[in-house]
């Protein structure tokens, strides 16, 4: 049991550092949700994102060095995390994530074009949850009635996800659960689109930019496994396509 916990927590730390899709799921406050505001900094460690942003060799090297520093701090924190209660562990992991984001943020200076594209990718990864963000709501100039309607749509979607996945276990919970979330996210996004006027839809389309699919690099797990340098497609959340 101790070995199982050690491996599981190690993978969780790796996810927080280097896998945006996994990190996103680690900190979802509700089922099927999106990433947090600071998620864009973790995206910077992903090779496919670096290529999309056209980072220079110098920028990549600085991020790699910063990533090592973050990894070392996480490994040092491992022993302390092992003995914490679940809620305390979650709080500690959240603090580690924020600290890693700040380290990465300070490690490299992005050009205005790189920063803009990173924000677009970050917004795409947040998916439908982006509509809860005050900054997004302000840019879309949402009315109070629209905000209320969007909140209802998200709440109903969350309730449906809980209901349709409550009896799933093991592999089925992962595979079937993902199918359920994709279906309900798509339905919810369609309902959101119906609440936006033409100008708001145009603004949203400009905010998310061209669709980008993140490739999640396969990493060697503790004890072996995985193919270094390999990769697989990530998940591109549903968009309001106009």
Please give the pLDDT value at position 105: 83
Contact 200, 116 (CB under 8 A): no
Least confident of 47-56, 62-71, 137-146, 186-195: 62-71
Residue 30 has pLDDT above 50, yes or no: no
In a domain, 170, yes or no: yes
- DSSP helix, strand, coil percent of the chain (3-state; round to 5): 70, 0, 25
Cβ burial of 229 (10 Å; 0-12, 13-18, 19+) is exposed
Residue 140: predicted pLDDT: 97
Smallest Cα–Cα separation from 53: which of 107, 119, 112, 114? 114
In the numeric block, which tokens belong to residue 154? 């998200």
pTM of the model: 0.69
In this model, does residue 228 exceed pLDDT 50? no
Q: Would the CA dihedral through 219, 56, 236, 34 be positive or negative?
A: positive
Residue 241 placed within a domain: no
Q: Which of 27-36, 83-92, 136-145 has the highest mean pLDDT?
A: 136-145
**89 within domain boundaries:** yes
The answer to whether the CB of 204 falls within 8 A of the CB of 240 is: yes
Structural domain for 33, as ranges: 2-233
Please tell me the predicted confidence (pLDDT) of residue 135. Answer: 95
Does 25 have pLDDT greater than 50?
no
Tell me the per-residue pLDDT of 31-66, one tens digit each, with 9 for 90 and over.
333 333 334 457 899 999 999 999 999 999 999 999
Q: Which helix (H) or strand (E) holds 133?
A: none
The answer to whether residue 184 is domain-embedded is yes
For residues 31 and 147, give the distance between their C-alpha atoms in angstroms, rounded to a whole number. Answer: 20
Q: How many domains does the chain have?
A: 1
C-alpha angle with apex 158: 92 to 135, nearest 5 degrees?
70
Domain presence at residue 239: no
Q: What pLDDT is recorded for position 80?
A: 74
- Tell me whether residue 242 is in a domain: no
């Amino acid at each position: 049991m101790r070995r199982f916990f050690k491996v599981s927590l190690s993978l969780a730390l790796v996810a927080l550092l280097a896998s945006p899709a996994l990190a996103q799921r680690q900190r979802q406050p509700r089922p099927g949700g999106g990433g947090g505001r600071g998620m864009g900094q973790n995206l910077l460690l992903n090779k496919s994102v670096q290529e999309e942003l056209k980072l220079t060799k110098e920028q990549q090297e600085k991020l790699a060095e910063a990533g090592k520093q973050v990894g070392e701090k996480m490994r040092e924190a491992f022993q302390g995390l092992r003995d914490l209660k679940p809620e305390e562990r979650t709080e500690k992991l959240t603090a580690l994530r924020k600290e890693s984001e700040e380290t990465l943020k300070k490690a490299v200076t992005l050009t205005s074009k790189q920063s803009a594209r990173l924000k677009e990718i970050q917004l795409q990864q947040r998916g439908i949850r982006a509509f809860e963000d005050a900054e997004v709501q302000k840019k879309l100039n949402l009315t109070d009635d629209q905000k209320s309607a969007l909140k209802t749509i998200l709440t109903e979607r969350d309730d449906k996800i809980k209901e349709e996945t409550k009896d799933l276990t093991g592999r089925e919970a992962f595979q079937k659960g993902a199918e359920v979330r994709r279906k309900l996210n798509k339905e919810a996004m369609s309902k959101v689109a119906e609440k936006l006027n033409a100008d708001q839809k145009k603004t949203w389309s400009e905010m998310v930019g061209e669709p980008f699919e993140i490739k999640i690099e396969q990493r060697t797990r503790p004890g072996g496994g995985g193919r270094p340098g390999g990769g697989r497609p990530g998940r591109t959340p549903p968009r309001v396509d106009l």
